[in-house]
Amino acid sequence: MRIGFNIPPIIIFLVFYYTLWKYENGTYFNEGIDMQLLLMVLIGITTTQPAILDQTDEEWTAPGYTVIEEASINPLDYGEPIGWGENCNGPTASIGCQGFFIPTENGEKWRIIMLLKDKLVILQEDDEVRDIPLTCNPWSVIYSRNGKYVLVLGSVLEGGRDAIYSVEAEYVNIETGDVRTFEPLQNTGWTGMQFVNDDGSIYRWDFTASNLLEYYDSDLNLVFSRETNVAWGSRWAHASGGSIIVFLEIGNNLTAYDKSGTLLWEKELEVDLSCDPLVSADGSVILLATISGLECYNGFTGELLWEAFNTRTTSPVPSISGHAWAVALRGRGLVFSSDAKSRESIIDIHYSAEAWSHGGPYAVAANGAFIAGSASKPPKYQNNHLRKILCFNCDGEILWISSPFSIASSPLTLDRSNNSELELGIGSNIQSDGERFIYSDYSQIRVMRVEVGDEE
């Protein structure tokens, strides 16, 4: 049930007075009614779900909806994996794989890009299977958010009797099939961070070379190279359109640069970040998940747009395009919005579960619908590798829950995907209208469609 309301000033005053009284009497916020009251004031919209996660270990679909599997894909039907491992159930294949929804003249079509032993395989709805051969022995892959470019790191055996493996990075245009060598990574290896933008340009930070921040255009020409004051393990993010790159420098200074290498702004943060910043595709909005809540800034000026939540937030995920986002609240639920610039559009989601965690968002649609993952926890399950996938609509209602699957005992591992962005690297994606989504249960890649019907 979704509840929306305008909060009268007297209610805000009473909650503030109650909070002050609790503080003066030595009682602080916990996970109970105090936090709920505060969130109601901060948000105004709350969605409470029934306790359905614990009730079934079978696939579940909300009344009035149908979820149809449009495609089920076994990547090993298309080639050999990059490598093999083993788990309790036997051999496990190591690959790279990521799903996308690509705009076309006939609407959005799903696209799945798989990195196998000697090639990239591109599967696209209503299209023929395409292979793009690689000259290197691939190790891992980075995808642009729109699924049009990838960067593959691999090795090449060189020399005769004393042959050695040297690093080679291959830059691939998925649309044309062109493959080019990316020299900087060939020379220095897979160091620091690399972001591939939607226009094919690349941001790169190399921590082995005086903390250099570099930007390459879509023709792989070096546009700028400048030193930074960044520690290894720092927080990084970029606008997928390429307009800005954001990272923390030593001293907890958040800095934003444009693609000419110009410092746009910097700000010393008062609290630590829980994870990497969230940057909208156009760069106009930056969302920070901190140990105390959320902070939203103008990406080009550094102006604070809004802040909210007196609770720890983790795992912010932006939509592939637009300003929608979702974030997990530590231990108590999720929040999301279809418009990052508006604090009033935030929806707070509560659902009770004793055996399953609240999980974190995997992918967000442009209209705010999203998919998330939930992990099992004791006492019901001792295996925290068990997962369920949850599909939410743009009102925050759970529409579908997958049956449980294990990431530790399945025949596939997707460990060759190396994206630093939170919304890429685990195979999942969601269509801009939220009507279809892609996920992997580590045995198949599945494309699902949500349809609305008559409620029983």
User: What sign does the CA torsion over 167, 172, 177, 178 have?
Assistant: negative
Segment 131-155 mean pLDDT: 94
- Its domain, for residue 204, covers 43-452
Between 192 and 269, the more confident residue is 269
What pLDDT was estimated at residue 454?
Answer: 60
Domain membership flag for residue 35: no
Q: How confident is the model at residue 423 (pLDDT cuts 50, 70, 90)?
A: low
Residues 315, 140, 75: CA angle, nearest 5 degrees: 90
Q: Determine, yes or no, domain membership for 160.
A: yes
Residue 322 region by backbone torsions, left for phi larger than 0, else alpha for psi between -120 and 50, else beta: left
Q: What is the pLDDT of residue 273?
A: 81
Predicted TM-score of the model (pTM)? 0.87
d(CA 149, CA 194): 13
The count of C-alpha atoms lying within 13 angstroms of the C-alpha of 120, restricted to the half-sphere facing its C-beta, is: 34
Overall domain count for the chain = 1
Enumerate residues 6+ apart whose C-beta is below 8 A from 107. Answer: none
Q: Is residue 5 part of a domain?
A: no
pLDDT in tens, 177-209: 999 999 988 887 777 789 999 999 999 988 766
CATH code of 302's domain: 2.130.10.10
Domain assignment present for 365? yes
| Cα distances (Å, whole numbers) of residue 86 to 93, 94, 143, 409 | 8, 10, 27, 9
Note whether 364 and 430 are within 8 A (CB). yes
- Which tokens is 157 given? 């055996």
Q: Does residue 77 form part of some domain?
A: yes
**pLDDT for 263:** 94
Mean pLDDT throughout 50-55? 74
**Residues across the chain:** 456
Mean pLDDT of 159-179: 82
Residue 270 falls inside a structural domain: yes
Average the pLDDT over each of 116-120, 178-182, 202-206, 329-333 and give the range with the smallest value: 329-333
Report if residue 268 sits inside a domain. yes
pLDDT at 3 over 50: no
Has residue 25 got a pLDDT over 50?
no
Position with higher pLDDT, 228 vs 399: 399
Residue 41 is predicted with a pLDDT of: 41
CA pseudo-torsion sign 230, 234, 235, 236 = positive
- 36 has a pLDDT exceeding 60: no
The answer to which of 166-180, 214-228, 312-326 has the lowest mean pLDDT is 312-326
Is residue 19 pLDDT above 50, yes or no? no
Reported confidence tier of residue 38, pLDDT bands at 50, 70, 90? very low
Q: Is residue 3 part of a domain?
A: no
